[in-house]
Chains A and B, each alone.
Chain A
């Protein structure tokens, strides 16, 4: 099989997008292994006897995910290092930056500051769950961000996008000031706030026209 033929076969099998996603997922698994087993005695305490069931089912992005969760594990840790959903970022890990913002039953909360066991039976939505699962069509907020190009380095983008997603649900017709308050739980170290607000206003505009 020559080079040209093999790449054609590959293209048929995987779109470029799924291929990249696959690489990211593999990378996440490999890097999280390093994170989790970095010789921490706390994590090694797997024999810790507890009243809490460890193997639980989580509803993440509309899917039932079985996962082994420690009693003292935060949701951001589970999402990133056990489910490979690295779109949820960990910035400060202290509820002080908003990069880990996820939606719990549609309400924005900081994934770093809740236990995974606290979201059993509730619907968790991460940035990966915003696009249409079947068509891959972007959500309104994602579309608005694409159009306005609001972010510079974009490390904070997933958190902001989740906060905007909640905002257009709660208040689809915000003033710029109201949008500013709705997004005041997210920090951008590039200080791109003005453009991010323009994204938020565009998202609200798109939401109203749907």
Chain B
């Protein structure tokens, strides 16, 4: 699709200064409203005329959504906190370094300066058929162009498909799952709390959304419980280019050990399914081991059980296997 280099189509801009006002605006405009965080995902949609909301609610003026606070048994990150702030925060860097590490792997310095944690986890998929405005399942149509015989699907999923084969693009998502973060979503009816892994949903649940959030909802805070503070972390993101790029496959893992033995583990992989995948079976497998070579190999093999590559993304299967292996091996 040719890129259009003129103005974004007109919309009404709202710039609330409190969460209550924002929720009221979202309630009033429902499906016509678009929540603007950093805007780096949003403006592409607007400029390409693929999404044309009539009302845009800019969260940039809401102070209560920005900042990192110490709370009882953990840290609370406002959803509008910039990725740079997360990357540089001393508390996050020392106790939950995997979250800082993941934030550091997002796109470019300028994008991290402007992009927010809430926006990073809420962004839409990068499937270019969908993003170019093709009427696919996710866009309300009745086919998937990316799974067609001639389709270019090198970046698409190898598991978790349900009509749609797109992947979740978020770098911070698997890290948040690894530290067992809770997502606090508010609407006019009050707040709801979701485990990070339940916040992201696949097309089998709702093909038009990437997260549990519906039109009236707002992700206000992300809570990181102290349970996984100072665990052994492993994060790795594989991408085509050294900057600016979304992951092909990424892995985030947290291990709690007593001596050499892994007591408990949390491992998540992104870039392989329409949602970040938590590897429960692998976690159970590595429990009670030392993360030795044999365990790492078994973990890798177990992780890719049931993987079904498309025509051009077979490479993701060994990539995922090896990343899980490396994560487990990092403990030993």
Contacts and interface: CB of A to CB of B under 8 A. Distances in A.
Contact of B13 (A71, A93, A95): A71
A89 interface: no
B40 A96 contact: no
A38 interface: yes
Nearest to A38: B6
**Residue in B5, B7, B110, B114 with the greatest tally of chain A CB atoms within 10 Å:** B110
A70 B7 contact: yes
Nearest to A52: B13
Given A115-B13, A184-B243, A185-B110, A42 B7 contact: yes
A182 interface: yes
A185 B108 contact: yes
Interface string B1-24: 001011111111111000000000
Interface in A77-91: 77, 90
Interface string B116-138: 00000000000000000000000
Interface in A41-97: 42-43, 45, 48, 50-52, 70-74, 77, 90, 92-96
B5 to A, nearest CB: 5
B7 A184 contact: no
Interface in A167-204: 181-182, 184-186
Contacts of B43: 74, 94-95, 112-113
Interface centre among B9, B13, B56, B244 (most CB of A within 10 A): B13
Interface residues of A, number: 41
B109 interface: yes
A128 B180 CA distance: 47
A184 B108 contact: yes
A101 interface: yes
A35 B5 CA distance: 10
Contacts of B5: 90, 93
Contacts of A74: 8, 43
Interface string A98-115: 100100000111101111
The 5 closest A-B pairs by CB, nearest first: A185-B108, A184-B243, A71-B13, A185-B110, A72-B8
23 contacts: A38-B6, A43-B6, A45-B10, A50-B12, A71-B12, A72-B46, A74-B8, A74-B43, A94-B3, A94-B43, A94-B44, A101-B110, A107-B84, A107-B113, A109-B110, A112-B43, A113-B40, A163-B110, A181-B243, A184-B108, A184-B244, A185-B111, A186-B108
Interface of B: 3, 5-15, 36, 39-40, 43-44, 46-47, 56, 58, 60, 84, 107-111, 113-114, 242-244
